[in-house]
Structure 1
Amino acid sequence: MRYLKAIAQDRSGNGVADTILLHFYERSSNQPDDLVHEAVAVDMNADGVTDFQFAGDINGDGSSDIADKLLLKAFAGTFLKLHWFNKGESSQRVLVLMVAHYTPKGSPNAVELGFFDRLSPVRKPTLIFHAAGYDGDGNGVLESFTRTDVNKDGIADNADKELIRSMCNSFLAFKWYDGADANMSGRRQGTDQCVI
């Protein structure tokens, strides 16, 4: 099983996230989760657009190029709009993304977003809220989304739906999923199963 941990931080202390850290994990049976890839994006002037992207080969196509930077920039731009960030260099709040269900052919048809918070230094992270996108007809396009207030403005509306759509599609563009997960005897793989 593969999943992505995304962390946003306000390192400048101005109340706005400016640094995005992405950690790409793979889980094997009876082994600790393996950190396979890391990427970083930085918004220097707090305008909601990252100025620097250190993506590496984020889409796993064998080369580190402008396409990787653009994928990271798109993901980070949407992530910044969620207002799910940490003060300083803390990683108390984490967003975990993963493909939760596959078609019989092994293509993704459900993406989950789990918003976790470590409510105190001694507690394990707690799932605070959850969002998801679904491809109901198996055509490769996510058509339905949970009604979740992901931008925390007090209303679950079309703006939230578009943020969920963008987060799911940006995650899928990284191609960080494994169709082999579809053969796990129908067992549900949820964000709450990830080690944070």
Structure 2
Amino acid sequence: MRYLKVIAQDPRDSGQPDSLYFRFYEGEQLLREATMLERQQLTTLGTTYLKCAWFNAGDREERHLRIFSLNPSADGTPESVRLHFHEGPTIIYKAAAHDLDNDGAFEVILSSDVDNDGHANRTDRNRVRALVRAFLKLGW
């Protein structure tokens, strides 16, 4: 399975992350870090991810997001995009966007409290939608 791993770090322990990494994986093998052009394309994804308040104190990497698409019909368009928020190897919570009729629009957004504000609401669904759109722009 191919996925994008997003890691935010707060190396100065200021309460706000100031390092953001985008890494592309195939299974557990790191393929590469995002190129400069890809980092520009990932600006929205990074900004939205930072609003999720899922970052690491110091230079740790335990907390991260893995985002990937599924195409069971094998027609080249994703029917589902999944977001797994990890703490180490454990998935702490998940979110997903599903295209039920394979028309390119995601009709169903499933999410919990992805921005860690204590409420699972429309804002969380909008954050998931923004993360999915930004990820799909990569065409990966």
TM-score under structure 2 length normalisation: 0.91
Q: How many residues align?
A: 140
- Gaps (5+ residues) in structure 2? none
Distance (Å, rounded) in 2 between the aligned partners of 1:89 and 1:97:
21
Verify the 8 A CA contact 1:10 1:85 in the aligned structure 2: yes
Partner in structure 2 of residue 97 of structure 1: 67
Verify the 8 A CA contact 1:101 1:111 in the aligned structure 2: no
Verify the 8 A CA contact 1:5 1:97 in the aligned structure 2: yes
More strand by share: 2
Partner in structure 1 of residue 115 of structure 2: 151
Percent identical: 36
Larger Rg: 1
Q: How far 1:103 moved relative to its partner?
A: 3.3
Partner in structure 2 of residue 73 of structure 1: 43
Cα RMSD after superposing both structures: 1.6
Q: Are residue 2 (structure 1) and residue 2 (structure 2) matched? A: yes
TM-score under structure 1 length normalisation: 0.66
Give the match's secondary structure for 2:36.
Answer: coil
Distance (Å, rounded) in 2 between the aligned partners of 1:73 and 1:106:
25
- Gaps (5+ residues) in structure 1? 28-32, 40-54, 59-67, 119-124, 177-196
Deviations 1:77-102 (A, max 9, x none): 11110100000110011111111344
Partner in structure 2 of residue 11 of structure 1: 11
Distance (Å, rounded) in 1 between the aligned partners of 2:85 and 2:42:
19
Task: Look up the equivalent residue of 1:142 and give its one-letter code.
Answer: F
Give the match's secondary structure for 2:84.
Answer: strand
